[in-house]
Structure 1
Amino acid sequence: MFRKLSSAALVAAITAAGGAAALAVPGAAGHGDGFAFGEPGDPKKPARVVQIVMKEGDGQMLFIPDRIKVRKGEQIRFAMKNNGENEHEFVIGTVEENRAHAAQMQKNPDMEHDDPNARRLSARQNGDIVWRFSKAGTFEYACLIPGHLEAGMKGTIVVR
């Protein structure tokens, strides 16, 4: 059985645990103007589709591709396919936010996400996230299930 935590509950859990409330959660401390890396997209508007494959093997867990380039203001529909035998996540954030979230996942490995920037997929499942990158910078997508990030499951998003 999975526990569902909203973004607000996750921030509260991190704060209560003495961790930094650095997750990119709208309305959280320091994030009153939205996420540090953009905002949820509008599925009714056009979007460039970026196929993301989740894969595992030879002691590694990977996203293919592991690097994408985006124009500032561009809307992307990440079309994800989990080709692995395990559950995987796709969480968009800054490196710092994802590491803070990964630390919480170590303590709560069954945590599910109910956030616009994250999706958990069972083996052989497909899913998508629509995101508008309204801010320039270098960001990350990662699988924060314990052990997966450490096995290499991360990618870079460069927004110019």
Structure 2
Amino acid sequence: MRFTATTTFLAACCALCIGLTAPDTVQAHGAQPHHAGPVRKEQKDWGIAAEPRAARRTIKVTMGDDMRFHPGNIEVKEGDTVRLSIRNTGKLMHEMVIGTPPVLEEHAALMVKFPDMEHDEPYMAHVPPGKSGEIVWTFNRAGDFRFACLMAGHYQAGMVGDIRVSQRVPSKAR
């Protein structure tokens, strides 16, 4: 096919229209776009995704280029639905990923091998420098879990935190 000024102009117009009508996207590793959509609710060992309107508590977390989360420990009760409001105060891309230690270790190792790996799960938030993100999560299983930044080298530098989900004690019937 021979490209003329007209075909080049039409191709540019099509690209612009597609860009204007595409659904909102969020950026993941290596600026790979992911399409936003309905929350995927898949039970994990550490809980299940929740709708934003279900959150009854907000926990603010900051992360930065010191390779630390503040606070580094989070405590919730079994059954709590929490909004984790995450702010990246650094100049590097960071993320917050919730999971069990083995799951996070495995994922961190993959990120070192494939730093631009594309993924987008409801238990992770990729946050560009100076921006905010959130995770809305129901911690429906008691136990000790973790959160971490799995960007290549960040986990290895100690960018991890702990989540303790205490067992909810049923109230006694009167």
- Do the two structures share a fold, i.e. TM-score over 0.5? yes
Deviations 1:20-79 (A, max 9, x none): xxxxx94xxxxxxx200100012122421000000223xxx1000000111000011000
Measured at CA, do residues 112 and 119 of structure 1 come closer, stay the same or move farther in structure 2, by a change above 3 Å? farther
Out of 44, 53, 61, the position equivalent to 1:52 is 61
Whether 2:97 is the aligned partner of 1:107: answer no
Say which SS state the counterpart of residue 56 (structure 1) adopts: coil
Q: 5+ residue gaps in structure 1? A: 6-24, 27-33
Whether 2:78 is the aligned partner of 1:72: answer yes
Say which SS state the counterpart of residue 89 (structure 1) adopts: strand
- The letter of the residue matching 1:39 is I
Measured at CA, do residues 90 and 115 of structure 1 come closer, stay the same or move farther in structure 2, by a change above 3 Å? same
Kindly indicate whether structure 1 or structure 2 has the higher relative contact order, using CA contacts under 8 Å at least 6 residues apart. 1
Whether 2:43 is the aligned partner of 1:43: answer no
Aligned sequence identity (%) = 38
- The letter of the residue matching 2:104 is N
Out of 138, 158, 172, the position equivalent to 1:152 is 158
Residue 8 of structure 2 corresponds to: none
Kindly report the root-mean-square deviation, in angstroms, between the aligned alpha carbons of the 2 structures: 1.9
> Structure 1-normalised TM-score?
0.77
Equivalent residues, number: 132
Equivalent positions of 1:93-104 (< 5 A) are: 93-104=99-110
Larger Rg: 1 or 2? 2
Say which SS state the counterpart of residue 103 (structure 1) adopts: helix
Measured at CA, do residues 38 and 99 of structure 1 come closer, stay the same or move farther in structure 2, by a change above 3 Å? same
Q: 5+ residue gaps in structure 2? A: 1-29, 35-40, 167-174
Moved over 6 A (4+): none
Structure 1 or 2: larger helix share?
Answer: 2
Structure 1 or 2: larger strand share?
Answer: 1
> Structure 2-normalised TM-score?
0.71
